[in-house]
Structure formats: C-alpha cells, structure tokens
Amino acid sequence: MASVTSDIETPERGCPDGTPTAEDTEDTEDTTMTATLLDGELLAAKVRAEVTDRVARLRSAGVTVGLGTILVGDDGPSSRYVAMKHADCDDVGIRSAHEHLPADVSQAELEAVVARFNADPGIHAFLVQLPLPAGLDEERVLMAVDPDKDVDGLHPVNLGRLVMGANGPLPCTPAGIVELLHANDVPVEGKHVVVIGRGLTIGRPLALLLAMKRPGCNAAVTVVHTGVEDLAGLVRQGDVVVAAAGRAGLVTPDMVKPGAAVVGAGTSWEGKKLMSDVDESVAEVAGWITPRIGGVGPMTRAMLLRNAVRAAERSS
Ligand code: GUN
C-alpha cells in the first residue's frame, strides 16, 4: 500500500471539485454576458480564511486537525482532485493523511483501511474517493465509515440527519451551492428551484436541503432528470436552476427563465477540458450564473475543509 494523493468526481456524481488545468483555462471564447457571475473562488477563499482561524484556535488548544483520503485505483481526474484536497489542507493548516490502494484491492483490505482511519485519533474526518473500481461494494464502504468522521456527509446516518433536519455534516457540493447562492443574494426562500439530476452526492441531498425550513433554503423544489418529458419546459419554470446531470451543455438559453440563477454543478470531460452542464451562452438570459471553472468546484472543496474542522471541534 503506497501513500499518495488523488481524487475524482464522476459526471453522474457530478462533483466539480477542481481547479482547472492549463487546458481548462486556455479557452477564451467570448459570450455577451449579462448575468452576474457566482464566483466560487472568491467565496471559497473567505471560507478557507474562516477555516484557517478555526484550525489555529484548535491548534492552540493542542489539537492538530487531521483529514484523511482513501483513493482506490489510478483514475487521472480522481488523482488530481485528491491532490487538490491535500493542497487545500496545507493551505489552512490541516494535516492530511492519504492511502492509495491498487484498483484490484479486495473489499476486506479496503474496509481494513477504513477501520484504521476510524480508529486513528489524529484523523478527525476522512473520505473514500468515489467511484470505486468495479467489483468493490461502494455502499458497504460508505457504511463502514464512522459517521462522526464522515467528511462527505454521505454516511446513511448523516443522510438520515439531513432528512430529519438534525445537525450533522452536509454533503459538500449541496452545502457549497446553498452558500454560493446565499452569499450572492440570490432569492431562494419561497422561490422555485429546479434541480436537474438525482445523484447521491448532489441532486438528492441538495433537493432535501433547499426544501428545508431554514435561512437560505425554504424553497419549492422540483427534481428532474434527463429522461423526463418536456425537460426544457420544467427547467424554464425555475427561478433557480441547478444542473447536476453530468452532461456537457445540457442547459441552453431557451430552457432558462430570463433573470433566473443558473448553477452548473455537474461536470464531464471533453478530452482534458472540464465541461459544465450549463452552456456558456446561458449568461445572455440568466440573472446569475456560475462560471465554467471556479463556480461550484472551489465551494465543494471549501465545504470539505469546513466539515473537517467541525468534526475536529466536535471531538475535542
Ligand atoms: N466523487 C465525486 N463526488 C464525490 C464526493 O462528494 N465525495 C467522494 N468521496 N467522492 C466523490
């Protein structure tokens, strides 16, 4: 077992977790832009500053916050994403630990690493990067994580807490999206939000979160997917649209109510270029829009750091 770093976000799971590669940013196409940009980089920097303070407070009380990652296999984007999470940890003073397991690792060996992280008092929170290679039982692995160390908020206990409205770690991308909308004064409470996609890491938990009676949420939420009849007609009803289907350019201007807020949360790769579910020309009709790079992804990573420091605060 070698120690390395790395992480992936698959389109269906849709977590756009990354900072761009050179190829991502090379693109300089110009669209006539009227929408306000939902700048995730800017807000993530503020969250990192807050986390840095909290980490420092814990350090002066003798606690070094520790975040662990487990990566199975050698998927390229996964590796890059995990590496970015470790870089983020360095940035805010969190100690990070990682385990890189071969793609043919057995279920028992993987669960043994999870058990070791569960028992390690220096690791306050950790994640197993998804998806796992074929042959490994993802559900069993997620359930093996100690719910108190579940930095993803994906353990059934924590998803159950979300359903109940009880305190617990929130899945990072949904939490980041709600924060991004709130920080940009996008009206959500009492509004109609259309979520495209019902994956475990974004669509399903986001719909629950947005419908909750809490500040920045309290919305009427419709969950749709790429197989529904009249997808465009349904999406056009949204005051806020969150696309988390993992299909490049799925949301086009004709599908958007003028002035709506449009969030691209799903990603896919075209070669080495990270694509958003939202076509860039949507900026011509939307009131707010996430950039293809630097929207939801940085917020996901920032929320991971916040979940990690919260886990450490709870256990100290
Ligand atoms: N892969 C894609 N999204 C996620 C996520 O939110 N958590 C983990 N662990 N893996 C992912």
pLDDT at position 82 is: 95
> Which pLDDT score, from 0 to 100, does residue 304 have?
98
Q: Which backbone phi and psi does 245 adopt, to 5 degrees?
A: -105, -15
Ligand 1 pocket member 75 (CB < 6 A): no
Q: Which residues of 217-238 are buried (b: 16+ CB within 10 A; e: fewer)?
A: bebebbbbeeeeeebeebbbeb
Q: Is the pLDDT of residue 138 over 50?
A: yes
Q: Whose CA is nearest to atom 2 of ligand 1?
A: 9
Q: 12, 17, 84, 85: which to mutate for ligand 1, most atoms within 8 A of CB?
A: 17
Asked if the model's pLDDT at residue 290 lies above 70, the reply is yes
**Choice among 7, 88, 150, 152 that is catalytic:** 152
Q: Do the beta carbons of residue 316 and residue 61 sit within 8 Å?
A: yes
Q: What is the mean pLDDT of residues 296-311?
A: 98
Q: How far is the CA of 14 from the centre of ligand 1 (A)?
A: 8
- What is this structure's pTM? 0.89
More confident residue, 33 or 125: 125
Ligand 1 center from residue 233 Cα (angstroms):
30
Share of the chain above pLDDT 70, in %: 90
129 is a catalytic site residue: yes
Task: Pick the catalytic residue from 7, 39, 129, 257.
Answer: 129
Residue 173's pLDDT is: 98
Determine the residue of 5, 6, 13 to mutate for testing ligand 1's pocket, defined as the one with the most ligand atoms within 8 A of the Cβ atom. 13
CA of 219 to the centre of ligand 1 (A): 25
In the block, which residue shows the tokens 């949904």? 174
Q: Write down the mean pLDDT value for the chain.
A: 91
Percent of the chain at pLDDT exceeding 90: 86
Structure confidence at residue 9 (pLDDT): 33
Return the ligand 1 atom nearest residue 172 CA. Answer: 6
